[in-house]
Amino acid sequence: MAQQASGATERIYVHPLPVRVWHWINALGFIALILTGIQIRYVDLVGLMSFRTAVHLHNWIGFLLIANFFIWLLFYLFTDKIRVYHPELSPMKHFRGTLRQLRYYGYGIFRGDPNPHHVSVYRKFNPLQSMAYQIIMMLVVPLQFFTGLLLWDLHRFAGAVQLFGGVRVVATVHVLCFIFFTGFILVHPYLASLAHPPSRHFKAMITGYEEVEKKPD
């Protein structure tokens, strides 16, 4: 995600307002879900709030984030911004781009090499990010919400719970997703801070404008 500054920069508008609003609601909501989830699972060890309060907050925040997810989905489906999620259709180009990005994250960044990915309005994700976010947003997030919905009312969704292997299986999948998102919440700000200056990506998610190096004329 980082890019070494080596010349003049320009500002491009890559994060529309609906995306920024969704992003911050999602970020704060997932942090709240993690904290209340820890309280629910480790009620005898954690004393952030009462078990009843934690359950109510967890449920209502979950419903808020489900609604937020559909706002995100509808925005991308009905605008041309969906292009930022379009995968590279050439397997060879995708492989080469992924390899360059892995090499950069593996050791290039520590030598001060420039980021091989150049952000643009419709290419704000590098090959690794594009693949990761497609998996997260189209698989892991819906799976977390779906299993959470089943656990919210085991009586109402008893048939679906049994279809997917019972309460233990559904709860295990939900907890595994919880572990994944806890790790993501910790790693994501670190990767965002690798820019030059470190605040660049954070400011972009507030203003919408990303500072990128100008291409030579």
Mean pLDDT value across residues 21-33: 96
CA distances from residue 175 to 42, 85, 146, 147, 181 in whole angstroms, order as listed: 12, 27, 12, 9, 10
Give the residue with greater pLDDT, 173 vs 119: 173
Please tell me the predicted confidence (pLDDT) of residue 45: 86
Q: Output the pTM of the full model.
A: 0.85
CA angle 40, 38, 160 (to 5 degrees): 60
Burial 4-21 (b: 16+ CB within 10 A, else e): eeeeeeeebebbeeebee
5 pLDDT exceeds 60? Answer: no
| Domains by residue range for the chain, with CATH | 9-86+118-213 (1.20.950.20)
